[in-house]
Amino acid sequence: MPELPEVETVRKGLSKRLLDFQIENLEVCRERAIASPGGSKVFIKMMRGASIGEWHRRGKYLIAKLYRRLPSQTNKTTSRDSCDASAGYWGVHLRMTGQFQWIEEASNPCPHTRVRFWNKEGKELRFVDTRSFAEMWWVSPKEKIENIITGLKNLGPEPFSPEFNAKYLLKKLQGKKRSIKSALLDQSIVAGAGNIYSDECLFLSGINPKKESGLLTEVELQSICSNLIEVLRISIGKGGTTFSDFRDLEGINGNYGGQAWVYRRTKKSCRKCGAIIQREKLSGRSTHWCPECQA
Ligand SMILES: [Zn+2]
């Protein structure tokens, strides 16, 4: 499942490829992919003719600003903000297996193709999703984004934001019996971290994933904050991870996986101490840790 570094990698690819991409035509191949009111009918109507502006990421959500080009004679300036009208927002959540593909030469879509977008030149942005859990939204410029993409309402702070710190975690986890691993997976506590990076972060912090989150000290929580930021930063630099079927826009998977400390290293020896890496399901997710380094 794509986590923050993978979604950030996709955001960078979309920003680069789609700068001023104008949607000449689009096709929704599977109704379920569109989660905004009015389904594919409204989505197609409102997205057709729109140009794609800046891409933002919030947690694992991708959001693009849409605009419509107005005839330039109506305004002497060339700035996009002043002479173009907002056409709302385009939201995307990749969930398990959603991925964008950039198609230069026309080709037949695979059976998992969900949505297709073309520009005037016939270049295609294709959205493929094997498991079919990914969602897209069109949000009217008059509407608050979180009223349509309701998952945004419950997101905790971004790991890179100043709000994500030991004091915040201490308050949030006070008296909580749940394991620290389960707390880190909770998007309402911190946005964007998932299974891979929470396992890696806990290894670097020397904290057992099963430890009760409410019992952690401020020093331990500080270590968790810094290490989570560190692993996310390293992985973003490497274009995400090779795990799962994640691919960026150009079909390339990242290479964080090769250097993981514990994730998917079950029964291998710990890179620090040589002990055997353990694996167990915790809150339904495979959790990896070193019994010595994370006693
Ligand atoms: Zn170890």
Annotated catalytic residue 2: yes
Domains of the chain: 4-152 (3.20.190.10), 166-289 (1.10.8.50)
Return mean pLDDT, the chain: 92
Q: Each residue of 2-56: pLDDT tens digit?
A: 889 999 999 999 999 998 899 999 999 999 999 999 999 999 999 999 999 999 9
Estimate the crossing angle of helix 195-205 against helix 218-237, to 10 degrees. Answer: 130
Residues with CB under 5 Å of ion ligand 1 are 270, 272-273, 275, 290, 292-293
**Set 17, 80, 272, 285: catalytic member:** 285
pLDDT tier at 246, thresholds 50, 70, 90: confident
**Set 60, 116, 247, 265: catalytic member:** 60
What's the pTM value of the predicted model, to 2 decimals?
0.89
Do 288 and 263 touch, CB atoms closer than 8 A?
yes
Would the pLDDT of 178 be above 70?
yes
Q: Each residue of 66-100: pLDDT tens digit?
A: 999 887 645 455 555 556 889 999 999 999 899 99
The predicted pLDDT at position 83 comes to 60
The predicted pLDDT at position 253 comes to 78
pLDDT tier at 271, thresholds 50, 70, 90: very high
- CA 202 to ligand 1 centroid distance, Å: 12
Percent of the chain with pLDDT over 70: 95
**Set 3, 6, 8, 220: catalytic member:** 3
Would the pLDDT of 244 be above 80?
no
Percent of the chain with pLDDT over 90: 82
- CA 187 to ligand 1 centroid distance, Å: 28
Annotated catalytic residue 285: yes
- CA 294 to ligand 1 centroid distance, Å: 7
Lowest mean pLDDT among 78-82, 194-198, 280-284: 78-82
Would the pLDDT of 111 be above 90?
yes
The predicted pLDDT at position 37 comes to 97
The predicted pLDDT at position 62 comes to 97
